[in-house]
Amino acid sequence: MPTTLSASALPGLDLVHRGKVRDVYALDADTLLIVATDRLSAFDVVLPDPIPGKGEMLTQISNFWFAQTAGIQPNHLTGRDVASVLPSGVDTDLYAHRSVVAKRLKPVPVEAIARGYLIGSGWKDYQATGALCGIALPAGLRQAERLPEPIFTPSTKAAVGEHDENVSFDAVVEKIGGELAERVRAATLAIYRFAADFAAARGIIIADTKFEFGTDTEGRLYVMDEMLTPDSSRFWPMEHYKVGISPPSYDKQYVRDYLETLDWNKTAPGPHVPAAVIAATAAKYAEALHRLAGIRVD
């Protein structure tokens, strides 16, 4: 049965970061232990109710994609067994399927987003300006319509409780330099194209996704954190896809749609989510994991 973990507790390890979903511990100068909790964030706010088993599903689907795309872009995984680095007395079953031992990298301070379809904040920006992140798009596109080709639409990396902001590629160049910006854009689009084709063969449209990147001391680029999960992507069932609406999804859009019905200003503290929405969201994550990676959650 899936475990539930809202916040990790690993005595003796140095907690260096507690993010919206992941807790990161320093193991040594070169490696980190990354724990995916069951915390749920929406509109950049961590909600009070966890999704049981979500961290395990996120980690398994990320690890699946890391393996599938290792030939396209190196990733942060070391391959070390999680149980070997946990403190004595810790329940290994609680952490085994939601944690990875990863390379310690310097994060690239940009949300690297690939979009193949016009939805979410991209749809709102297009309606207002006819462009997205400085990229002019054809006139007359409709909500959820497939773009002529995938595009790189970066955003800022917001702190907990703050909102990401779409920015132009020129802004990324100014922030991290032209050579690294080009490498990040190329890697983002290459991974997205591969994953979109892979998922389409299994009846899932990946409308958009975001990646995190980091560099080592030699300047080598790695994809890190999570990859192509329901928390970082929009997955649509192909059989229910229709242009002109926000399609039903396998991801946390289910929670977003519920929150949009509330009188909430999308700032902390977040509202409680009903048990039925939590259960339905967990089922969506499990279905995506099974359809994409062939892994069934009992």
For residues 298 and 244, give the distance between their C-alpha atoms in angstroms, rounded to a whole number.
Answer: 35
Nearest to 50 by CA among 84, 117, 98: 98
Does some domain include residue 4? no
Length of the chain: 298
Measured distance CA(289)–CA(69) in Å, rounded = 17
Does residue 108 contact residue 215 with C-beta atoms inside 8 Å?
Answer: yes
Residue 163 has a pLDDT of 58
Mean pLDDT across 266-284: 92
Residues 169, 56 share a domain:
no
Residue 250 lies in a domain: yes
pTM to 2 decimals? Answer: 0.91
Name the token pair of 73. 């872009």
Write the CB contacts of 88 (distance below 8 Å, at least 6 apart in sequence). none
Overall average pLDDT of the 5-33 stretch: 95
**Domain shared by 204 and 84, yes or no:** no
Mean pLDDT to the nearest integer, 133-149: 96
pLDDT mean over 32-41: 95
Q: Is there a domain that residue 270 lies in?
A: no
Most confident of 1-15, 64-78, 122-136, 245-259: 64-78
**Pair of tokens at residue 7:** 């916040």
Query: Helix, strand, or coil here: 31?
Result: strand
Q: Where residue 159 falls among pLDDT bands split at 50, 70, 90?
A: low
pLDDT for the residue 161? 47
Q: What is the mean pLDDT of residues 53-61?
A: 95
Q: What is the count of structural domains for the chain?
A: 2
At which of 104, 125, 143 does a domain end?
Answer: 104
How far, in Å, CA of 84 to CA of 143, rounded?
Answer: 48
> Is residue 278 situated within a structural domain?
no
CATH of the domain at 192: 3.30.470.20
Alpha-carbon distance of 154 to 185, in angstroms, equals 9
Residues 35 and 138 in one domain: no
238 and 159 in a common domain:
yes
Please give the average per-residue pLDDT across 133-145, as a whole number: 96
For CA atoms 132, 137, 139, 141, the dihedral sign is negative
Q: Are residues 204 and 234 in the same domain?
A: yes
Amino acid identity for residue 148 in this structure: P
- Confidence at residue 215, expressed as pLDDT on a 0 to 100 scale: 98
Rg (CA), the chain: 19
Asked if the structure places residue 245 within a domain, the reply is yes
On whether both 32 and 96 belong to a single domain, the answer is yes
What is the reported pLDDT for 162? Answer: 55
Residue 52 maps to which CATH number?
Answer: 3.30.200.20
pLDDT at residue 79, as a whole number: 95
Note whether residue 286 is domain-resident: no
The pLDDT value recorded for residue 230 is 85
Q: Is 294 a domain residue?
A: no
Asked if 32 and 225 touch (Cβ cutoff 8 Å), the reply is: no
Q: What percent of the chain has pLDDT over 90?
A: 84
> What is the predicted pLDDT for the residue at 41?
87
How far apart (Å, rounded) are the C-alpha atoms in residues 204 and 116? 13
Q: Tell me the per-residue pLDDT of 192-248, one tens digit each, with 9 for 90 and over.
A: 999 999 999 999 999 999 999 999 999 999 999 999 998 899 999 999 999 999 888
Residue-number span of the structural domain to which 63 is assigned? 14-104
What share of the chain has pLDDT > 70, as a percent?
97
Domain boundary among 48, 83, 104: 104
